[in-house]
């Protein structure tokens, strides 16, 4: 019986398809597991037509969840978007319209101008948005899909398959359940006018159908990606190349009916993982032109231009007295007083005052000597007699250490050595000389430098881009959305109550309330993926609505 039914479906499809230029393809999937139920030409690259807008809407929902845009963000309509052919909303160039209305027009009416405006508003241009669409398709596992525009109008290089579009339909259902009901609406307010659904006939005719999207061009034929649920079963199917709306809907209904009979009632649900986002890592390397010294296999001998050697200081000329140098001035001052013979004494500096506990009773002896002076001697001579014993008893200052091990104080012998050194620096005529300052000329530096060859080096062209795969579900970037509430206090009370009831799961989570046009949105953020799903399951068990929000 099943074989005859599938044969009937095949004949129903192929008979009118022979009269149509568009090839036929079909794919039926168990939405709970992602496994195929039926497929025919499922991986053949065909024109997707307006099924393309499913990816346009997927990227729009992604941008909203990431906080890049809001539903009430204003989008400026370009002349390119306003000039798109029907089906269209009727946008004008320069017009500003909220993103929510563009999403409704693209999803329900399949408006081409609204889809182009969404792409240009999110990426800056339709070409850049098409690249983002293709990159996201690869991340979702759509291996035979390439996009060239945001609306699905026929264009070279713009193609997809029935299998890939079924994958995209399943992603819309699981990744954005908060927006999925948009595809089951029969009509909606699109800002400038009310629009009706292009899929309302199938939604009204087939039991359990709740989406998703239709498409039609002459090159593609009549396409449809549909989702339906009966009991615990949910199927997602795609048909390419229908000959008419009625024939396409009939084939889709037959495929779904037979699919519901074949899939089991109970099966372990396997939710799709978040897309493996691809990030571009730019690797920049300096470009250095190779030189002979670095690339030649033999050592190179480079001759450097050396500077002129320093001029020698005259040893016994009178012109050296004119050198303006602090050290020379100090030596000349020290040699002004020359004693007989070769001994020369430096003028002693004033002795420092006596420091306590340095020489025992030196101060007491000085005071006793002062007391022995005649009582009527109160002139300057008395002051001198009082200072003399103190100066004699004070100790000389310690010698500055020239090395870590030198702690001896400067004595008379050191003073004599200094005097002899200064006297030796004095000329035979008794005139000061700066011979100590005249150091011998430095040896000339080598005028050649030998550089060893360092090999070829890295002279290859730098890699412009390096694609790095990064899982988006790593880390605590998940959250739980508890819905919208009328007041900030109501949302805050619910978050606090929930945190107290599920303290183990929500430990470390942050409570966040977002003020939106529709109300106050209550969320728990900073959760891991496992904790977010566990917390949401517990809340649902207590009849609390919630949804998991991913990164």
Q: Could you tell me if 523 and 539 are in contact, meaning their C-beta atoms sit under 8 angstroms apart?
A: no
The tokens of 21 are what? Answer: 């230029």
What phi, psi does 397 have (nearest 5°)?
-65, 150
- Cβ–Cβ < 8 Å for 100, 72: yes
In order, the DSSP letters of 115-172 are HHHHHHHHHSSHHHHHHHHHHHHHHHT-TT-B-S-SS----TT-BB-HHHHHHHHHHH
Token pair belonging to 149: 């525009």
Rounded distance between C-alpha atoms, residue 167 and residue 189, angstroms: 29
Q: Among candidates 65, 256, 69, 27, which has minimal Cα distance to 164?
A: 27
**DSSP secondary structure letter of residue 475:** S
How far apart (Å, rounded) are the C-alpha atoms in residues 339 and 346?
10
Q: Is 364 exposed, middle or buried (0-12, 13-18, 19+ CB in 10 A)?
A: exposed
Q: If we measure between CA atoms, which residue out of 172, 189, 190 comes closest to residue 181?
A: 172
Distance CA 223, CA 487 (A): 45
Among residues 78, 110, 166, 433, which one is catalytic?
A: 110
Alpha-carbon dihedral angle through residues 269, 273, 274, 276, given to the nearest 10 degrees: -160
110 is catalytic: yes
Known catalytic residue: 301? no
281 marked ligand binding residue: no
The candidate with the shortest Cα–Cα distance to 91, out of 109, 110, 112, is 112
Query: How far apart, in Å, are the Cα atoms of 461 and each of 279, 288, 291, 458, 468?
Result: 22, 10, 16, 9, 20
Catalytic status, residue 194? no
How far is the C-alpha of 161 from the C-alpha of 186, rounded, in Å?
Answer: 27
Which one is catalytic: 50, 78, 160, 227?
50
Residue 415: which residues within 8 A CB-CB, separation 6 or more? 345, 346
Among the listed residues 53, 109, 233, 274, the single catalytic one is 53
CA distance 252 to 25: 11
- The closest of 72, 191, 99 to 517, measured between CA atoms, is 72
SS3 182: helix
Spatial distance between the Cα atoms of 361 and 390, rounded to a whole number of angstroms: 11
The CA angle 271-103-151, to the nearest 5 degrees, is 90
Residue among 256, 193, 182, 192 nearest 224 (CA): 256
Contacts (Cβ under 8 Å, ≥6 apart) of 248: 222, 223, 224, 239, 242
**Cα–Cα distance measured from residue 224 to residue 166, given in angstroms and rounded to the nearest whole number:** 10
Catalytic residues: 50, 53, 110
Known binding residues for substrate are: 213
Known binding residues are: 213
């Amino acid at each position: 019986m099943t074989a005859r039914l599938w044969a009937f479906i095949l004949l129903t499809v192929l008979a009118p398809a022979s009269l149509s230029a568009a090839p036929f393809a079909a794919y039926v999937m168990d939405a709970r597991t992602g496994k195929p139920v039926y497929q025919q030409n499922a991986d053949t690259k065909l024109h997707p037509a307006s099924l393309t807008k499913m990816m346009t809407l997927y990227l729009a929902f992604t941008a909203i969840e990431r906080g890049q845009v809001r539903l009430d963000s204003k989008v400026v309509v370009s002349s390119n978007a306003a000039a798109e052919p029907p089906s269209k909303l009727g946008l004008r160039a320069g017009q500003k319209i909220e993103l929510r209305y563009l999403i409704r027009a693209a999803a329900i009416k399949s408006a081409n101008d609204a889809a182009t405006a969404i792409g240009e508003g999110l990426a800056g241009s339709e070409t850049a948005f098409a690249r983002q669409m293709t990159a996201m398709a690869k991340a979702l596992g759509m291996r035979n899909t390439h996009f060239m525009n945001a609306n699905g109008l026929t264009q070279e290089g713009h193609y997809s398959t029935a299998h890939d579009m079924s994958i995209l339909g399943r992603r819309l259902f699981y990744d954005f359940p908060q927006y999925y009901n948009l595809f089951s609406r029969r009509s909606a307010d699109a800002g400038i006018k009310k629009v009706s659904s292009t899929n309302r006939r199938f939604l009204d005719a087939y039991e359990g159908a709740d989406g998703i999207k239709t498409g039609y061009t002459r090159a593609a034929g009549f396409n449809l990606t549909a989702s339906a649920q009966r009991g615990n079963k949910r199927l997602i199917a795609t048909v390419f190349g229908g000959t008419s709306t009625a024939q396409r809907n009939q084939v889709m209904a037959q495929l779904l009916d037979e699919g519901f009979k074949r899939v089991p009632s109970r099966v372990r649900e396997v939710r799709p993982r978040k897309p493996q986002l691809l990030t571009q890592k730019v690797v920049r390397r300096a470009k250095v032109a190779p030189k002979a010294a670095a690339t030649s296999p033999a050592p190179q001998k480079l001759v450097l231009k050396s500077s002129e050697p320093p001029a020698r200081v005259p040893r016994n000329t009178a012109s050296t007295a004119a050198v303006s140098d602090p050290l020379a001035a100090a030596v000349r001052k020290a040699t002004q007083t020359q004693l007989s013979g070769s001994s020369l004494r430096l003028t002693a500096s004033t002795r420092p005052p006596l420091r306590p506990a340095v020489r025992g009773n030196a101060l007491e002896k000085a005071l006793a000597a002062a007391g022995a002076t005649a009582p009527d001697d109160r002139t300057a001579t008395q002051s001198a007699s009082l200072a003399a014993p103190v100066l004699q008893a004070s100790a000389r200052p310690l010698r500055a250490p020239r090395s870590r091990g030198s702690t001896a104080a400067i004595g008379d012998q050191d003073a004599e050595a200094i005097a002899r050194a200064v006297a030796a620096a004095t000329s035979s005529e008794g005139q000061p000389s700066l011979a100590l300052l005249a150091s011998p000329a430095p040896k000339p530096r080598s005028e050649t430098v030998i550089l060893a060859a360092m090999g070829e080096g890295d002279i290859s062209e730098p890699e412009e881009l390096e694609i790095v795969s990064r899982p988006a579900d790593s880390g605590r970037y998940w959250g739980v959305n508890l819905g919208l509430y009328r007041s900030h206090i109501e949302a805050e009370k619910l978050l606090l109550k929930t945190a107290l009831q599920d303290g183990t799961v929500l430990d470390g989570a942050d409570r966040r309330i977002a003020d939106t046009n529709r109300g106050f949105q209550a969320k728990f953020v900073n959760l891991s993926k496992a904790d977010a799903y566990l917390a949401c399951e517990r809340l649902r068990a207590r009849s609390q609505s919630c949804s998991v929000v991913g990164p």
